[in-house]
Structure 1
Amino acid sequence: MTRIGIILGSTRPNRKGAQVADWVLDQASTRGDADYDLIDLRDHPLPHFDEPVPPMFGPSENESTRAWSERIAACDGFVIVTPEYNGGYPGVVKNALDHLFAEWNNKAVGFVSYGVNGGARAVVQLRAVCSALGLADVGYQVGISILTDFENHTTFVPTDAHTAALGKTLDQLIAWTTALAPLRSTESTLINS
């Protein structure tokens, strides 16, 4: 079964992202087209990127990076749930992406973002970085406003439009993940031979 990791890209206290990521997981889990798994960056406290060699040149010596590598390598695709901070995405997401290379290759990624403008600027930047890591980003995305989509600015209240957008994002994500499977299989064969 295809395995999709839903990466929760905020580690702040009082973060809104946990509600959003839980909603994504709840919606995705009813589909039956993949196993969906929440990956909270709080559970993977990586130091600021401090690897002695770039990830594309070999495995890490650091235990925290090796644990992160195993978690990501087990997935076939991803949904990144990210806030927008000051026109970009959080440093913790960039750090988590930068710690790995081969584990991201030939996998698909979709985005659910939230912020004043639905987090759109964060996703624009994430698309460029994910592409450099060999991730295929899907066109559909979900944008959530922190001004109008959180009751009393605290409780996420998804609309039918959010649910429809998430459905389209997941449809594309599964299609791309499936299409890229032969490349991942070939790559695995080359690595293990």
Structure 2
Amino acid sequence: MPNPRIAVIISSTRQVRFADKPTQWLMSQAEGHPDLDFELLDLREQDLPFFDEAASNLWVESQDPRAVAWQQKLAGFDGFLFVVAEYNHSITGALKNALDQAYKEWNRKPMAALAYGSMGGARALEQLRLIAVELQMVPLRNAIHIGAADFFKVSPLGEDAPMSEIEGHLKGSLKATLEELTFWANLLKDAPKG
């Protein structure tokens, strides 16, 4: 049986974003995972309009072909690992819009996160978990947080050091998150969706 497919979704679309640095580290750690296959989905590269449908695609089929293409892309994944930037105690507008563009395609799939910011992206991740519940995803307890001194160590706002400088602080949470993601992705892989 093939491994569950996990989309790693970069939530920030700014040209000067920090997200690329932790995402590259995350992808290097996930490469060759024995139980999960990872694919990067960068919201900056998705042609998504602002949500302007009559209703969620749970109720009404989407009309914009860009939204439909996004839904079809998401449908092929068995779970999601979001790289979450914290903007004003919440998720980015780009991520909220991407979440709103689909409904059925998120259902009964696990969602994990690598969150970052001065407080480890904790407030943004809490917002994302609330949205995930409404979208009938399974938000995981474990997450990878880059915050406080670690964030300023690797961020351009601070020392801009390589991720290897804080890697030892992240390995435990990465291991726990991937173990939990593996469990839920396998458990829910064949669950009916929508």
What is the TM-score of this pair, normalised by structure 2? 0.89
8 Å CA contact 1:83–1:119 kept in 2: the answer is: yes
Q: 2:153 aligns with which of 148, 155, 158?
A: 148
8 Å CA contact 1:20–1:156 kept in 2: the answer is: no
Residue 178 of structure 2: aligned partner:
170
CA drift at 1:116: 0.7
8 Å CA contact 2:6–2:36 kept in 1: the answer is: yes
- Separation in structure 2 between the aligned mates of residue 98 and residue 155 of structure 1, nearest angstrom: 35
Q: Secondary structure at the match of 2:152?
A: coil
Residue 122 of structure 1: aligned partner:
124
- Separation in structure 1 between the aligned mates of residue 146 and residue 174 of structure 2, nearest angstrom: 11
8 Å CA contact 1:28–1:36 kept in 2: the answer is: yes
8 Å CA contact 1:16–1:154 kept in 2: the answer is: no
Percent identity of equivalent pairs? 32
Give the gaps of 5 or more residues in structure 1.
Answer: none
- Separation in structure 2 between the aligned mates of residue 174 and residue 104 of structure 1, nearest angstrom: 17
Greater per-residue strand proportion: 1
Q: Amino acid of the residue matched to residue 10 of structure 2?
A: L
* 1:135 equivalenced with 2:143 (yes/no): no
- Separation in structure 1 between the aligned mates of residue 55 and residue 87 of structure 2, nearest angstrom: 29
- Separation in structure 2 between the aligned mates of residue 14 and residue 166 of structure 1, nearest angstrom: 25
CA 1:65–1:155 in structure 2 vs 1: closer, same or farther (change >3 Å)? farther
CA drift at 1:155: 4.6
Residue 32 of structure 2: aligned partner:
30
CA 1:56–1:48 in structure 2 vs 1: closer, same or farther (change >3 Å)? same
- Separation in structure 2 between the aligned mates of residue 36 and residue 119 of structure 1, nearest angstrom: 22
Q: Secondary structure at the match of 1:127?
A: helix
- Separation in structure 2 between the aligned mates of residue 73 and residue 182 of structure 1, nearest angstrom: 13
* 1:180 equivalenced with 2:185 (yes/no): no
CA RMSD of aligned residues (A): 1.6
What is the TM-score of this pair, normalised by structure 1? 0.90
Provide runs of 4+ in structure 1 moved above 2 Å. Answer: 148-156
* 1:66 equivalenced with 2:68 (yes/no): yes
- Separation in structure 1 between the aligned mates of residue 5 and residue 100 of structure 2, nearest angstrom: 22
